[in-house]
Amino acid sequence: MRRVSAAGALVLLIGVMAGCTPVKPPATGSVFEDERLEKEALSRVTSRHLGNAHVNVAGMDRRLLLTGEVPDQAARSEVEKLVSGIPNVRGVSNELVVGDIIGLSARTSDSVIASDVKFRFLKDATFPASQVKIVTEDGTVFLMGSVHRAEGAAAAELARTVKGVKRVVLVFDYAD
């Protein structure tokens, strides 16, 4: 009997999971477009001097998610306006928090949470983990992608059970 390496098993698992749903994965061109939109958004935001701000931009299917911390409501609105004005952006979800920038320990915890959520998604076969982008900010897990409602609910429930998760925010486009 031939043994399969852990990496080989993971590739096989991802392939099987990707085939378990009729929702199509993002086209390669859209992945590059999302990366371009993320870079353009960050460039626009960093060119403005917003004071004590920390802004993250995540993109999927030309929809942008803004997370992080800004000093006041005016900065929050300005960031959204800057990003919304980028050509080809389909939508903006502004989840920026007005307040102090979170510290290194919170960011480290966020990385651990995001990794744990992704690992659980890969182990679960009820939805296509490869089609869900995970962003974690101060214990809040944001889930982006194109899924069916039942798949989105399953992803949200799995994310909620991860240690350290304070809240789960769904930024899904539903295929049904």
- pLDDT 10s digits, 60-99: 999 999 999 999 999 999 999 999 999 999 999 999 999 9
Phi-psi category of residue 138: left, alpha or beta, with phi > 0 → left and psi -120 to 50 → alpha: left
Verify that 93 and 106 share a domain, yes or no: no
pLDDT of residue 49: 73
E strands, the chain, where? 54-60, 63-70, 91-94, 97-98, 132-137, 140-147, 167-174
Q: What are phi and psi of 169, to 5 degrees?
A: -115, 125
Residue 138 included in any domain: yes
Residue 45 included in any domain: yes
- pLDDT 10s digits, 90-116: 999 999 999 999 999 999 999 999 999
Distance CA 166, CA 176 (A): 28
Verify that 112 and 83 share a domain, yes or no: no
Q: Give the structural domain span for 32.
A: 28-98
Residue 55 included in any domain: yes
pLDDT of residue 117: 97
Residue 130 included in any domain: yes
Residue 19 included in any domain: no
Residue 34 included in any domain: yes
Verify that 81 and 130 share a domain, yes or no: no
pLDDT band at 12; cut points 50, 70, 90: very low
Location of structure tokens 């299917």: 61
Q: What are phi and psi of 98, to 5 degrees?
A: -85, 115
Residue 18 included in any domain: no
Which tokens in the block code for residue 56?
């993250």
pLDDT of residue 128: 84
Residue 144 included in any domain: yes
- Cα distances from 53 to residues 22, 48, 59, 92, 152, in angstroms, run 40, 10, 20, 18, 31
Question: Per the structure, how many domains does the chain have?
Answer: 2
